[in-house]
Structure 1
Amino acid sequence: MHKYKWGVIGTGKIAHTFATALAHCENAELCAVASRTDDKAKKIAEEFGFRSFYGSYKDFAENSDAEIVYIATPMASHFEDAWLCLENGRNVLCEKSLTLNTAQTEKLLAFAREKKLFFMEAMWMKCRPVYRKMKEWIASGAIGDIEYIKADFSNFIPFDENDRLFRADCGGGCLLDLGIYPITLTHDLLGVPDEIISSAHMMNGIDMSNSILFRYKSGAFSSMDNGFEIQLRNNAIVSGTKGFITLGNWFHCTEEGALFDREGREVEKFEFKDAINGYEYEIDEVHRCLDEGFTESPLVPHSDTVAVMKLMDQCRSQWGMKFPNE
């Protein structure tokens, strides 16, 4: 069994969560971690057992022996940080949303292909067992043709002008942070919509909440509500001509899904308890792809990453929302 040497760029909350999963994956080696200061890098290195730490991303990219790098910096930094790693021959797993816009995404993915390196957006939802079971049910024809999707992702988060979520210069706003999940779900199941109807509550240059409707020529549609201002249950339903599927609260990381027939009778229930914290599945997918010599994941292909980014660009265009560093 090959043990892959992992590096992590960023030392925030998501980096800690990911490092926790890495530390419990037997074929992952915690090789190096980087921050913008030595103190922060050293602290997380000591906490999780990374062999080395770096006080600059450039020093890390040029001198560490990491084979695959997880990028956990704010959205506005993803493009620059991922480019730096690719430029120095590192495979990359980059947090979602991959970049601020489609142009950046396409340029980054083209560079990864040019360098013949593995690159994947960290859309962990697509790698999780319940999500994959949902795809199996749909592929089997259990719910027939999809007619309706309802998926929400809205958390009440007290406003903090210093938090990256509320800063336009950090790529803030709920669309790129939360809305990407319902949009990814809808695109994965129904493809590119024929019409997008959306609105957003804007403040300080970012969307505090939004409501998005995708319509399709088939008559199918998807309704999605996202935001930082109210708390929703964040569950999802996928309804078809023969039945429907429910994904439990926090649908993007739920451990429970259920299949129902057209009359609402439960046909099958699927429950799967995470072995660590749920991030292990995308780590396993990265390892599988590297073992197979893939440069992109079949579960999270580059084409899907680009398509979803285009849909989010269209929503932002309807709201007149543009990041200062685009």
Structure 2
Amino acid sequence: MKKYKWGIIGTGKIAHTFATALKHCENAELCAVASRTDEKAKDFAEEFGFSEYYGNYKDFAEKSDAEIVYIATPMASHFNDAWLCLENGKNVLCEKSLTLNTAQAEKLIAFAKDKALFFMEAMWMKCRPVYRKMKEWIASGLIGEIEYIKADFSNYIPYNENDRLFRADCGGGCLLDLGIYPITLTHDLLGMPDDITSSAHMMYGIDMSNSIIFRYKNGAFSSMDNGFEIQLRNNAVISGTKGLITLGNWFHCTDEGILFDRSGNEIERFVRKDDINGYEYEIDEVHRCLDVGFRESPLVPHSATIAVMKIMDECRAQWGMKFPNE
């Protein structure tokens, strides 16, 4: 079994979660970590067992032995951080949303292709067993043609002016952080919508909540509510001409999917508990792709990443929302 040398840029909450999974993956070697200070990088390296640490990203990119880098910095930093790693010959797994906008995403993906490097948005939802089982059910025709999707992602989060979620300069707002999940789900199952209707409650230069409806020429539609202001169940329903599928609470990382016929009778229930914390599946997908020489993942293809960015650009245009560093 080939082992891959992993590096991580950023030492915040999501980096800790990812490193926890990485530490328990047999074919992952914890090589290097970078933070904005030597102290933070050293503490992180000692906590998880990384052999190298760097107090700035430039030294990490130029000097570390990492083969694949997970980028766990705020969204507004993704473009520069990913570019730096690609420029120095490192494969990249970049946390979602990949960038602030489509133009940035297209430039990064084109650069990765020019450098002949693996590049993937860390859309872990698409790599999870329940999500993949849901797609198998649909591909097998078990719910017929999809007519309707309902998926929400809204968590009550008290306002904190220092939290990246509420800072426009960090790429904050609920669209890029939460709304990307129901948008990605809908796009993955129904493709690009023919019509997008959306509205948002704007404060502090970001969307605190939003509602989005996609409509398709065949009559199918999708409804999504996202935000930081109210708590929803965050489940998903995919309804078709022959049946429906429900993905349990926190649909993007649920461990249960249920298939029903059109009368609501349960046909099959698929349950898969995480081996570690759920991030192991995207790590496994990266390893699988590197093993066979893929430069993009069939589960999270570049074309889908760009399509979702285009949809989010359109939503922000409808709200008049622009990030200060775009």
TM-score, normalising length: structure 1: 1.00
For 1:72-83, what aligned pairs fall within 5 Å after superposition?
Answer: 72-83=72-83
3-state DSSP class of the match of 2:246?
A: strand
Please name the residue that 2:239 is paired with.
239
Please name the residue that 2:228 is paired with.
228
Please name the residue that 1:306 is paired with.
306
For 1:128-207, what aligned pairs fall within 5 Å after superposition?
Answer: 128-207=128-207
After TM superposition, which residue ranges in structure 1, 4 or more long, deviate above 3 angstroms?
none
Distance in 2 of aligned mates of 1:58 and 1:136: 43
Query: Shift of residue 319 of structure 1?
Result: 0.1
Distance in 1 of aligned mates of 2:139 and 2:164: 39
Distance in 2 of aligned mates of 1:305 and 1:124: 13
3-state DSSP class of the match of 1:106?
A: helix
Query: Shift of residue 74 of structure 1?
Result: 0.1
Query: Shift of residue 282 of structure 1?
Result: 0.1
Residues 135-156 of structure 1 deviation map (CA, whole Å, 9 limit, x = unaligned): 0000000000000000000000
Distance in 2 of aligned mates of 1:292 and 1:10: 28
Please name the residue that 2:322 is paired with.
322
Query: Shift of residue 133 of structure 1?
Result: 0.1
3-state DSSP class of the match of 1:207?
A: strand
Please name the residue that 2:69 is paired with.
69
Residues 246-299 of structure 1 deviation map (CA, whole Å, 9 limit, x = unaligned): 000000000000000000000000000100000000000000000000000000
Please name the residue that 2:87 is paired with.
87
Distance in 2 of aligned mates of 1:105 and 1:189: 22
Please name the residue that 2:251 is paired with.
251
Please name the residue that 1:42 is paired with.
42
Query: Shift of residue 161 of structure 1?
Result: 0.5
For 1:262-273, what aligned pairs fall within 5 Å after superposition?
Answer: 262-273=262-273
One-letter amino acid of the counterpart of residue 34, structure 1:
A
Structure 2, gaps ≥5 residues long: none
Residues 176-232 of structure 1 deviation map (CA, whole Å, 9 limit, x = unaligned): 000000000000000000000000000011000000000000000000000000000
Query: Shift of residue 95 of structure 1?
Result: 0.1
Distance in 2 of aligned mates of 1:314 and 1:205: 17
One-letter amino acid of the counterpart of residue 314, structure 1:
E
Distance in 1 of aligned mates of 2:301 and 2:88: 23
Query: Shift of residue 238 of structure 1?
Result: 0.1
3-state DSSP class of the match of 1:143?
A: coil
Query: Shift of residue 87 of structure 1?
Result: 0.1
Please name the residue that 1:30 is paired with.
30
Residues 20-42 of structure 1 deviation map (CA, whole Å, 9 limit, x = unaligned): 00000000000000001000000
Query: Shift of residue 118 of structure 1?
Result: 0.1
Distance in 2 of aligned mates of 1:28 and 1:231: 36
3-state DSSP class of the match of 1:188?
A: helix
TM-score, normalising length: structure 2: 1.00
Distance in 1 of aligned mates of 2:252 and 2:275: 17
Give the aligned CA root-mean-square deviation in angstroms: 0.2
One-letter amino acid of the counterpart of residue 290, structure 1:
L
Q: Percent identity?
A: 85
Distance in 1 of aligned mates of 2:163 and 2:284: 31
Please name the residue that 2:19 is paired with.
19
Query: Shift of residue 101 of structure 1?
Result: 0.2
3-state DSSP class of the match of 1:239?
A: strand
3-state DSSP class of the match of 1:107?
A: helix
Distance in 1 of aligned mates of 2:284 and 2:89: 21
Distance in 1 of aligned mates of 2:39 and 2:168: 27
For 1:262-301, what aligned pairs fall within 5 Å after superposition?
Answer: 262-301=262-301
Distance in 1 of aligned mates of 2:204 and 2:197: 23
